[in-house]
Amino acid sequence: SQTIHQWPATLVQPVGSPLSLECTVEGTSNPNLYWYRQAAGRGLQLLFYSVGIGQISSEVPQNLSASRPQDRQFILSSKKLLLSDSGFYLCAWSVRRSGAFFGQGTRLTVV
Amino acid sequence: DQQVKQNSPSLSVQEGRISILNCDYTNSMFDYFLWYKKYPAEGPTFLISISSIKDKNEDGRFTVFLNKSAKHLSLHIVPSQPGDSAVYFCAADFTGTASKLTFGTGTRLQVTL
């Protein structure tokens, strides 16, 4: 069965510090991978998606970047965090038209 | 531009009664719709979906209805149980190489005893 791992679960970072969130998927090959963010009181916003190694599409301009160094690994990064980067970050995967399956999320607080 | 809208941020229903969560969309290209359930500090979990070729899909206590002409879908939960208390997101997708779900803002359902 497929599983998705996302870490860390919570993170408190000072403004201006770098960020690296990692997500890995097991039990499937060639998944589409996604990073979503849920800001306080708002819905889920798609940040990045990837249909293959090294292929990243950005949905919204922002202070973040994503990379996919391996088929089942997706990394969300920032060189310098802003206060507005605080939120709940979710990694997800999908295969074909199955909808997306989510990890447990990372609560990021930028202070 | 909010293409998927859930106009009720919260809903309170008594245990045993029906819960009806509503969702509207504006993009007529959407052809696949999903409902997710989310508990605090957890990722959303898939609940039920419907393709645009159908107008109803049922799975146990959960039924999703789609009205394409009105660009409206709803999730019915019958009977409602306390464990159903969560935030419910509707999401829409369209045919493509990747699922790029567009989510609504969510409705918080509280099932009371």
- Write the pLDDT tens digit of every residue in B42-82: 899 999 999 999 999 999 999 999 999 999 999 999 999 99
Average pLDDT in the A16-35 region? 93
Q: Is A49–B98 a contact, with Cβ atoms under 8 angstroms apart?
A: yes
Of B42, B100, B103, Cβ closest to residue A105? B42
Confidence check: pLDDT of A62 > 80: no
Closest to A74 in 3D by CA, of A94, A45, A96, A97: A94
Nearest chain B residue to A42, by CA: B105
Look at residue A97 in the predicted model and tell me its pLDDT: 66
Residue B110: how many other CB atoms lie within 10 Å: 14
Of B45, B89, B99, Cβ closest to residue A44? B89
Dump the DSSP string for chain A. --EEEEE-SEEEE-TT--EEEEEEEES-SS-EEEEEEE-TTS-EEEEEEEEETTEEEESS--S-EEEEEETTEEEEEESS--GGG-EEEEEEEE-SSS--EE---EEEEE-
> Is the Cβ–Cβ distance between B11 and B108 less than 8 Å?
yes
Q: Which residues of B touch A94 (CB under 8 A)?
A: 98-99
Look at residue B68 in the predicted model and tell me its pLDDT: 96
Confidence check: pLDDT of B40 > 90: no
Closest to B45 in 3D by CA, of A103, A11, A84: A103
Q: Is B99–A94 a contact, with Cβ atoms under 8 angstroms apart?
A: yes
Q: Is B91–A99 a contact, with Cβ atoms under 8 angstroms apart?
A: yes
The residue type found at B109 is: L
Average pLDDT in the B101-107 region? 90
Helix, strand or coil, per DSSP, at residue B83: helix
Average pLDDT in the A1-10 region? 88
Average pLDDT in the B16-43 region? 94
Greater confidence, A60 or B57?
B57
- At residue B97 the predicted structure's pLDDT band, cuts being 50, 70 and 90, is low
Mutate to test the interface with B, among A28, A44, A50, A89 (most CBs of B within 10 A): A44
Q: Is B43–A98 a contact, with Cβ atoms under 8 angstroms apart?
A: no
Query: Chain A: nearest CA to B85, how far in angstroms?
Result: 17
Helix, strand, coil: what percent of chain B each, to 5? 5, 55, 45
- At residue A100 the predicted structure's pLDDT band, cuts being 50, 70 and 90, is confident
Confidence check: pLDDT of A61 > 90: no
Confidence check: pLDDT of A29 > 90: no
Q: Does A102 touch chain B (CB under 8 A)?
A: yes
Look at residue B98 in the predicted model and tell me its pLDDT: 67
Look at residue B14 in the predicted model and tell me its pLDDT: 97
Average pLDDT in the A24-32 region? 90
Confidence check: pLDDT of B99 > 80: no
- Work out the percent of chain A whose per-residue pLDDT is above 90: 69
Of B41, B89, B100, Cβ closest to residue A49? B100
Q: Average pLDDT, whole number, for chain A?
A: 90
Q: Is A102–B99 a contact, with Cβ atoms under 8 angstroms apart?
A: no
Greater confidence, B95 or B91?
B91
Q: Is B99–A98 a contact, with Cβ atoms under 8 angstroms apart?
A: yes
Q: Does A46 touch chain B (CB under 8 A)?
A: yes
Look at residue A30 in the predicted model and tell me its pLDDT: 87
